[in-house]
Copies of this chain bind each other. A is one copy, B any other.
């Protein structure tokens, strides 16, 4: 169990953002997903707000998760692996004082990077429309508050903007510039689909960026040259887990063989399970301290 310290995890994330490469972080949400992602070679993990809501509450991404629940989940993840974790802190859970508290809690829980977003929560009377953006000066106040709350200077604070879907490229660019001026360490672009959008943001700010871009014809090298350091993917790992759960319960409930023989190709072996739960490390600890 030679794990990186929290500061080392943060330094690794910061060094990556200071570099010139664009990586895809692993989309993780609990100790085992993070552990297995790390074993696959990942060094950076991302706990997105939607996946956190789905997995902790079993609910859609409706800002129902509390800051305390998110921090507890970060603790569960950082306890189990060395991944540097970037976490979405929604819009900071309220006003600028709440955003400040969000940074305090998530820093304490071991996050390496925290993204705070400018999307309004669902409003009464207008729940299904585009949610709209938090007013610019209010959001800047939130991000300044978030930055001021940081204790460990290696922790990264990112400003996340949904400007693109709430006004278009100009709004996105305006927001990115304002958040850079507010002192954040990076910009997360929500909903980018075309390379021109990324180019516009890169032309406007010097900060490293994070975005998604499903179009497979755009290479990570192209994105890297535009300042993108993390390329967020979709929710493939969770979607795979949900199918595995569905198939297994259906199999078992409909009278599948009790020993699971009908699903032998779809399950991890005992050796793999023992590896994923770190059995060897615990055996070593047992030998060292209990014998």
Contact = CB atoms under 8 A, between A and B. Distances in A.
Interface of A: 3, 5-6, 24, 26, 30-37, 39-42, 53-60, 62-64, 66-69, 72, 75-76, 79-81, 93-98, 100-101, 104, 108, 110, 121-125, 127-128, 135, 137-138, 141-142, 144-145, 148, 151-152, 213-214, 216, 231, 233-253, 257-260, 263, 266-268, 272-274, 276-279, 282, 285-291
A233 B253 CA distance: 11
Given A258-B214, A282-B97, A290-B127, A42 B237 contact: no
B240 A289 contact: no
B267 A246 contact: no
Contacts of A60: 274, 277-279, 282
Contacts of A231: 258
Given A241-B244, A258-B216, A55 B68 contact: no
A51 to B, nearest CB: 10
Contacts of A243: 244, 266-268, 272
Contact of A36 (B53, B246, B259): B246
A140 to B, nearest CB: 9
Contacts of A288: 144-145, 148
A125 B135 CA distance: 11
8 contacts: A32-B55, A57-B80, A58-B278, A63-B98, A64-B98, A66-B67, A128-B286, A142-B289
Contact of A124 (B33, B96, B128): B96
A286 B127 contact: yes
Given A31-B56, A57-B80, A96-B289, A151 B5 contact: yes
Given A80-B58, A253-B41, A286 B245 contact: no
Contact of A216 (B59, B98, B151, B257): B257
B59 A282 contact: yes
B247 A240 contact: yes
Given A236-B260, A252-B26, A252-B236, A245 B290 contact: no
Contact of A242 (B36, B95, B108, B137): B36
Nearest to A250: B40
Contacts of A128: 286
A242 B127 contact: no
Contacts of A101: 64
A200 B283 CA distance: 35
Central interface residue in A32, A145, A287, by most chain B CB within 10 Å: A32
A289 B69 contact: no
A101 to B, nearest CB: 5
